[in-house]
Structure 1
Amino acid sequence: MSESLKTISPVDGSLYVERPYTPENDIERMLAAARTAHAEWKARPIAERAEILTKCIDSFVAKKDLIVEELAWQMGRPVKFGAGEVGGFAERARHMISIAEDSLADVTVPRKDGFTRYIKREPVGVVFTIAPWNFPYMTAVNSIVPALMAGNAVILKHAAQTHLCGERMVEAFTEAGLPKNLFQIVVANHQSAARIIQSDAINYVCFTGSVPAGKAIETAAVGRFIGVGLELGGKDPAYVRTDADVDYAAENLVDGAMFNSGQSCCGIERIYVHEDIYDRFVERFVEVVNDYKLGSPVDPETTLGPLVNAAAAEFVRAQIDEAVNAGAKALIDPTKFPENKKGSQYLAPQVLIDVDHSMRVMTEESFGPVVGIMKVATDEEAIKLMNDSEFGLTASVWTRDEAAAVRIGDQVDTGTWFMNRCDALDPALAWTGVKNSGRGCTLSAVGYESLTRPKSYHLKTSL
């Protein structure tokens, strides 16, 4: 096993970052220091925490130009879109800071003569965040800033592909005056991460990643009696009703399917379109996809960068080939995208029709720039197909009828239900999933519940 973490850039296959793994003795010292830092931090008023963390966010945003360039080299995000990651990080962080005072306030109960009674929200202690590479800042912030605002300390293990993102966050927060040891990054392999979860120093684990990795996290936490938040896979559907604005739906669903080269847990991977507008929708969808430019993410003209590595691209190619061999029709000519090369991480986008749920591309998470489009005759048929999945992170309907949107949404198994938008996140709403998309919640006032524990005060004041 390698003694160091290595980040191979998807831009050109070069070694971009290398860090030695943190020795076990140093990890023990980090955890002990985190517990000490937490004990001091939780005693500070929420308003004081908010002031310090606001400065931390400002410090992070000030590094935007450097962050955008590093994102391109680490995980292939085109520089054209990199600033959006910084903006999303800041939006989520500032919202969670702004609602902390109310969200963390004591829970009052009805007055009872002779007693003072209330429920206090205590920080859980030390939170272990394990962050993914595909949205390395916007996913990490979902737990890091709320955990700190709640009075916890945070240990961050970032993905090997984007470890530098974790370093950049810790650096920015430290420079802004966050107390020492309150937010630390560890360089750990899977075995070390499991040992950290098993340590008595850890009180909560927040993980974003694959279903198999989520199962490994749960296994490591068995017997610890601690909370584990899991945001896992997705195979997110969209339903375009007969009354939809076809151009608007097509253009936005292309973005939902192709942004970040399709490497989004809440990206659109399957679309169901009412038969009355199916042909018009598919025609416009293909037109928009053909306008994408596949290329190096450091080229400012690129709108579709490489996948994270060649293996990921080959996985998607296999799904496409299997579907075509089973009767699906591919509507995008890969030769229009010269950078596309079999065996490389550069993969042309693809749109498939004549697909069904016997094909992996319609049931198995693709995590790439491919989408299947199916024709449906009724709302009921669309609902049945949307629910025919092991996942349930987000789903969307495209319609002018809000009442119909709510009626359909009530029947779809999903964590977030959208109308006329997709692949988005509102920090005022709970970010959560069902089925194999995981469990738990981040963001919104509800997101603070897992980062705190209730402590009841039952005081008899009359004797």
Structure 2
Amino acid sequence: MSDIICISPIDGKELVRRPAASAQEIDGAIAAARAAQKEWRRLPIAERSAYVLKFLEAMLASNQEVVPELAQQMGRPVRYGGEFRGFEERVRYMVRIAEASLAPTVPDDDRPGFKRMIKREPLGIVFVIAPWNYPFMTAVNTVAPALIAGNAVILKHAAQTILVGERFQKAMDAAGVPKGVFQNLVLTHEQTSSLLFRGLVDHTNFTGSVAGGRAIEQAAAGTFMSLGLELGGKDPAYVRADADIDHAIENLVDGAFYNSGQCCCGIERIYVHENHYDRFVDGFVSLTSQYVLGNPLDEATTLGPMANVRFANWVRKQTGEAVAKGATAHIDVAKYPADTGKTAYLAPQVLTNVDHSMSVMMEESFGPVVGIMKVRSDEDAVRLMNDSPYGLTAAIWTQDLDAAERIGGEIETGTVFMNRCDYLDPGLTWTGVKDTGRGAGLSRLGYEALTQPKSYHLRTI
């Protein structure tokens, strides 16, 4: 049996170790989920929702403990608090729309003597493979609506945030969720693949890398389970000639560097209209320079370490390659003594004179680096934004609503923002195109992804 180990990015030392589940424990969990789901699905939606709201309250009560725990596991500074504002917003929204979203659909052509409708039925067991970067919010995006829709849920959390899975289990137990309906399992990659290959679950939701998504698809091939995959991203921003530049600078700096750039929809490349390019770059560099890199348990720290040394080394490699090809690095790393070049602590970096021959403009960085390019027109910006294998979100900075919608229609992306970025609205579906993945989360469409249609064609005689 293997151990799952979390190495803290704060000091590179082992923080927590947990044994992986045994084969017997995995099979037992599946059997318990199957049995429990048969009863769980029979409960009214309102009753299932009530359990989920009790789970929410139990989770919110743990916030003071969770904040430093998260800093220790993945490096987010304690000054920013936990994730429970977005967590709560998403849970309450999905509870609020549950009855309407899961209500039967009745054809609009009435036929006397017939009762016809399409009901939404739970899939069975939903398997959630959660990431470490926003370990509470990314997991609850599927966990809450899956349970409300009548499914049983098995959660496998990332090794880097292994304690988050335990937090979910503790809150579910405190809420009185029936035994077997929700279970947190500690699994290796090999055990995860085997579980999928054996077709033990009915739907899998995975958030992670493109390589990880391909591995999930390969393991699940032939089982006919449904999949939800949120994979890589290289989210762009376009600052138009009519943008409020000060507002754009303030929000794009935050969108690029919050959580040390480890955000699924964080801004990784920026295209600025030539009329404002110099002013934008100057303001962006000035504001970026104000970040304080240090121990995330220190209230003064505004930029913590990346979650793992290898993640930081990847960003260092991308930055070094860009500079070697002619890019200009605007931030003096020497002013950040915590960044020794050998640990997970990485100074923020702003690059200009970049182009799409550079990895930093094409491949996901998932760290505190951003490249800025000058463009002459909307057409230039759209062409460059679409020159990417990914498509999760894109942000347009303009004072022209019609232009934003028009340009958004040309961008290959799952979400179009105007004058904001790096945010997930639970009323809108969370989805991606190209190598970013497949499926839909949250909103009414999230419920459709976690249920299957069943038609009723009833004739009276």
TM-score by length of 1: 0.98
Query: Which residue of 99, 111, 122 maps to 2:97?
Result: 99
Kindly state the Cα deviation for residue 199 of structure 1 after the two structures are TM-superposed: 3.3
**In structure 2, distance between residues paired with 1:442 and 1:98:** 16
Q: Which residue of 2 aligns with 1:415?
A: 414
CA distance in 1, matches of 2:211, 2:321: 23
Q: 1:325: how far off?
A: 0.9
Q: Does structure 1 residue 182 correspond to structure 2 residue 181? A: yes
SS at match of 2:137: coil
2:223 matched residue in structure 1 = 224
**Is the 1:71–1:82 contact (alpha carbons within 8 Å) kept by the matching residues of 2?**
no
Q: CA–CA distance in 2 between the matches of 1:379 and 1:458? A: 51
Deviation at 1:130, TM superposition (A): 0.2
1:338 to partner: Cα distance: 1.6
Quote how far apart the aligned CAs of 1:198 are: 2.6
Q: Which amino acid aligns with 1:30?
A: A
Residue by residue, what CA displacement relative to the aligned partner does 1:6-56 show, whole Å, maximum 9, x if unpaired?
000001112111111100011001000001111010000001111111111
Deviations for 1:58-91, whole angstroms, at most 9, x for unmatched residues? Answer: 11000001111110000001111132x1211111
Tell me which residue corresponds to 1:431: 430
Please list, as runs of the form range in 1=range in 2, the aligned pairs for 1:216-295 lying within 5 A after superposition: 216-295=215-294
**1:310, CA displacement in angstroms?**
1.2
Deviation track 1:410-449 (CA, whole Å, cap 9, x = no partner) reads 0000000000000111000000000000000000001111
Say whether residues 1:352 and 2:319 are aligned partners: no
Letter in 2 for 1:59: A
Q: Which residue of structure 2 aligns with residue 29 of structure 1? A: 28
Does residue 394 of the first structure (1) align with residue 393 of the second (2)?
yes
Aligned residue number for residue 335 of structure 1: 334
SS in structure 1 at match of 2:81: helix
Aligned counterpart, 1:138: 137
Deviations 1:264-293 (A, max 9, x none): 121100000000000111111011101111
Between 1:349-358 and 1:104-113, the stretch displaced more is: 104-113
Q: Deviations over 1:106-156 (max 9, x none)?
A: 111132111111111100000000000011011001100000000000000
Query: 1:416 is aligned with what amino acid?
Result: T
Q: Distance in 2 between matches of 1:442 and 1:200?
A: 22
Counterpart amino acid of residue 393 in structure 1: L
Q: Which amino acid aligns with 2:448?
A: E
**Once the 2 structures are TM-superposed, how far is the Cα of residue 201 of structure 1 from its aligned partner?**
3.3
Gaps of 5+ in 1: none
Q: Which stretch of structure 1 is more off in the superposition, 11-20 or 208-217? A: 11-20
Whichever residue aligns with residue 336 of structure 1, its letter is: K
CA contact (8 A) 1:121 1:454 kept: yes
Alignment of 1:191-202 (within 5 A): 191-202=190-201
Deviation per CA, 1:381-429: give whole Å up to 9, x if none: 0000000000000001000000110110000000000000001110000
Say if 1:128 and 1:197, in contact at 8 Å, map to a contact too.
no
* Percent identity between the two aligned chains: 58
The corresponding residue for 1:443 is: 442
Any runs of at least 4 consecutive aligned residues in structure 1 with deviations exceeding 6 A, and if so which? none
Report the counterpart of residue 326 of structure 1 in structure 2: 325
2:460 corresponds in structure 1 to 461
State the AA in 2 paired with 1:159. Answer: A
Q: CA deviation at 1:190?
A: 0.9
Contact 2:414 2:430 in 1 (8 A): yes
Q: Following TM superposition, by how much is the alpha carbon of 1:196 offset from its aligned partner in structure 2, in angstroms?
A: 1.3
Distance 2:443 2:32 in 1: 29
Q: Matched residues in 1 for 2:170 and 2:343: separation?
A: 34
- Three-state SS of the structure 2 residue aligned to 1:346 is coil
Q: Which amino acid aligns with 1:177?
A: G
1:32/1:201 contact within 8 Å kept: no
TM-score by length of 2: 0.99
Q: What runs of 5+ residues in structure 2 fail to find an aligned partner?
A: none
Q: 1:351 to 1:58 in 2, by over 3 A?
A: same
Matched residue SS, 1:371? strand
1:163 shift after superposition: 1.1
* Partner Cα distance (1:24, 1:274) in 2: 57
CA offset at residue 197 of structure 1?
1.4
Equivalences for 1:57-68 in 2 at 5 Å? Answer: 57-68=56-67
Contact 1:72 1:82 in 2 (8 A): no
Aligned length, in residue pairs: 460
Q: Deviations over 1:173-218 (max 9, x none)?
A: 1111111111101111111001111334310000000000000000
Q: CA contact under 8 A between 1:409 and 1:417: conserved in structure 2? A: yes
Q: Secondary structure at the residue paired with 2:42?
A: coil
How far apart in 1 are the matches of 2:337 and 2:190?
41
1:39 paired with 2:38, answer yes
SS in 2 for 1:441: coil
Residue type matched to 2:192 in 1?
A
Paired residue secondary structure (1:60): helix
Q: Distance in 1 between matches of 2:349 and 2:303?
A: 12
Is the CA contact (8 Å cut-off) linking 2:199 and 2:220 kept in structure 1? no
Q: 2:219 aligns to what SS in structure 1?
A: helix
